[in-house]
A and B are shown apart, each in its own frame.
Chain A
Amino acid sequence: MQALYAQLLVGLINGSFYALLSLGLAVIFGMLNIINFAHGALYMMGAFVAYFLLNLGGINYWWALIIAPVVVGIFGMILERTMLQWLAGLDHLYGLLLTFGIALIVQGVFQNYFGSSGLPYSIPDQLKGGVNLGFMFLPIYRGWVVVFSLVVCLATWFLIEKTQLGAYLRAATENPTLVRAFGINVPRMITLTYGLGVGLAALAGVLSAPINQVRPLMGADLIIVVFAVVVIGGMGSIMGSIITGFALGVIEGLTKYFYPEASNTVVFVLMVVVLLVKPTGLTGRAA
């Protein structure tokens, strides 16, 4: 029983990465209608920016949490301005192919310069060590990741669903022409939204840097699972992707305990089941 609690908690930790990443994907898909396959590469860039900040500039983890999402977010906005915006109105497939290509290029460039085994990034001193919860030893850093990503997820949900700005944003996706007529700069808003989604990916990258190796393929390995999360949760649903992210982390954690050999396929099995039963995803609305 004790072991079960521990696995649940570990699942929650992984779930927070899934939630942060799938949230970014959901925001981008919901608002821009782009299936952002470059998300994993941007997540990886976030981790690398944190690494550079620490090793070249001596700038610590806490600053990296702010700077890396901004830097990568700006990179994302440049991508949106120079490439993605021309795909508006075209079939989803074009956006998917373009972002997939971008991901391959970015990963290839990083792999060329930094190899594949990765670079070390240590846990900040303030978050080192752990607490014994009785049923498990919880590294403080992992606890921090869960709390922090939960806060960020909820803040993003609040921003989009409950604020004036979010209302404009949602309106702009429903009917851009009308919103423009009210004097709102829709293209700029879309660019900023893409920047926000990308920033969330970079933030997840910084959070994961001390846990996993900072390596060029860290995002490529994760992104497929995250896409499955988004599909299960329902494309474009903000709250859906947050909840599914955490829930799937837990389910995966339990699989690692009961039948570890299946731990990297369980998410996809679930995806197939959900698609068969409810093709719009658990919280998705029919298009």
Chain B
Amino acid sequence: MKNTISALLLGTAIALSVASIASADDKVVKIGVLSDQSGLYADLAGPGSTLAAQMAIEDSGLKAKGWTIDLISGDHQNKPDIGTTIARQWFDVDKVDTVVDVPNSGVALAVNNVVKEKNGVYINSGAATSDLTNAQCSPNTVHWTYDTYMLAHATGQALVKAGGDTWFFLTADYAFGAALERDTTAVVTANGGKVVGGVKHPLNTADFSSFLLQAQASKAKIIGLANAGGDTTNSIKQAAEFGIVKGGQKLAALLLFLTDVKAIGLETAQGLNFTETFYWDLNDNTRAFSKRFSARMKNSAPPTMVQAGVYAGLMHYFKALEALGGNPHDGAKVVAKMKTIPTDDPLFGKGEVEANGRVTHDAYLFEVKKPSESKGPWDFYTLVGTVPGNQAFTPLDKSTCALLKK
């Protein structure tokens, strides 16, 4: 009996040690694309983000070097509880190493905590809130594409300087809208402007006429749209209907995506100024990638900046893994490595992952073309200005991230 027990114990010990050797640096990676697959952000992220991740895996060339990379995707339905449940299941059951994309700031912040707790890697492309690299920053998080600070500074500053010194906000009533309004208000007041009012609307609102009437009555020169996706397209469309732009007020679409412009139509969207960090028709590299991407997209759409960010973020992640020589299955360690390598990819150009997890790269001010200027089905933007990467995002001395205070 004693022998049997000790044999069992020995067997278990051997099994455990073998398991722990296997889980140390191997060449197995599992990536989960967590996105809005069917709601109002599904076109700007969603299935396109999964495709971008797939392309990153193929382009990394790691498979040919003996790596095994698996990809799964999930639908968070814009609900933080669903997002965190999926993320937990991915870490606990599916042994996922890395969560990418996660549009919707509310979900993104909730998932941020889960990834930190599970010591995974979090490459966020879809969410806007600058809190991810400030108050709620994490050693496991890299925030790739854009954030509210960048949007507020690039678009907000340009508009205030052009004479738009009174603002009224239409704000989506959740984490993202609040962050964008806060960051833009700071820019407006710092540049001598004034916020005269605002209204918070529920996420996914179909009718904006009540809110637009309030904006109209405020007589503010600029109506700042601190919302996204379907909410933004509906606000812009209905603002045109109520003669807001003709009446002399200007719309500031603080966050506008390629798919939104497509949905509004150039007729209504023409002349809008906004900021993005990626556009498919920016240079030869972006055009080449977009051509490959749209050939595989269901409706032949080119990538949005969020989808491009998923690709670029994963490419950088793979670089770090390769530099480490294997996957340590230790999120903080991989992210630390990502921070030591300068970013350089065909879509966003050169930049770096800062200590707070913020990725810096150039931001571009665009204007929507007139219908007569557009030469193709997705030819929408004219480039009107570039904000260099080192000025576009929160300066490190102003970041409230606890990681910086060591």
Q: Do A and B bind each other?
A: yes
Hey, which bits of chain A sit against chain B, CB under 8 A? Answer: 2-3, 6-7, 10-11, 13-14, 111-120, 122-123, 129-130, 136-137, 139, 141-142, 211-213, 215, 217-218, 221-222, 253, 256-257, 260-261, 263-264
Interface string of B10-44 (1 = CB under 8 A from A): 00000000000000000000000000001111111
B265: nearest chain-A partner, CB-CB: A120
Interface string of B196-213 (1 = CB under 8 A from A): 000111101111011101
Bound together, the chains give a CA A130 to CA B247 distance in angstroms of 12
User: Per a CB cutoff under 8 Å, which of B200, B202, B211, B234 touches A213?
Assistant: B234
Q: What residues of chain B lie closer than 8 Å to A261, measured between beta carbons?
A: 173, 200, 202
**Is B194 engaged at the interface, CB distance under 8 Å to the other chain?**
no
Contact A217 to B39, CB < 8 A, known contacts A120-B267, A139-B241: yes
- Once the chains bind, are A3 and B214 in contact (CB under 8 Å)? yes
| Chain B interface residue number, banded | 35 or more
Bound together, the chains give a CA A276 to CA B299 distance in angstroms of 49
Hey, which bits of chain B sit against chain A, CB under 8 A? Answer: 38-44, 46, 173, 199-202, 204-207, 209-211, 213-214, 216-217, 229-230, 233-234, 237-238, 241-243, 247, 259-260, 262-265, 267-268, 298-299, 301
- Once the chains bind, are A117 and B229 in contact (CB under 8 Å)? yes
Q: How far is the CB of B302 from chain A (nearest CB, A)?
A: 13
Bound together, the chains give a CA A120 to CA B205 distance in angstroms of 17
B47: nearest chain-A partner, CB-CB: A115
- Once the chains bind, are A221 and B209 in contact (CB under 8 Å)? no
20 additional A-B residue pairs with CB within 8 Å, beyond A3-B214, A120-B263: A6-B213, A10-B213, A13-B209, A113-B299, A115-B42, A115-B299, A116-B230, A119-B263, A120-B264, A130-B242, A211-B241, A212-B207, A215-B230, A217-B40, A221-B204, A257-B214, A260-B210, A261-B173, A261-B200, A261-B202
Q: What residues of chain A lie closer than 8 Å to B205, measured between beta carbons?
A: 263-264
Q: How far is the CB of B126 from chain A (nearest CB, A)?
A: 14
User: Per a CB cutoff under 8 Å, which of A13, A213, A260, A264 touches B233?
Assistant: A213
- Once the chains bind, are B241 and A256 in contact (CB under 8 Å)? no
Bound together, the chains give a CA A136 to CA B215 distance in angstroms of 12
Bound together, the chains give a CA A217 to CA B40 distance in angstroms of 9
Q: What residues of chain B lie closer than 8 Å to A2, measured between beta carbons?
A: 217
Q: How far is the CB of A51 from chain B (nearest CB, A)?
A: 12
Q: What residues of chain B lie closer than 8 Å to A119, measured between beta carbons?
A: 263
Bound together, the chains give a CA A260 to CA B210 distance in angstroms of 9
User: Per a CB cutoff under 8 Å, which of B43, B173, B233 touches A115?
Assistant: B43
Bound together, the chains give a CA A3 to CA B234 distance in angstroms of 21
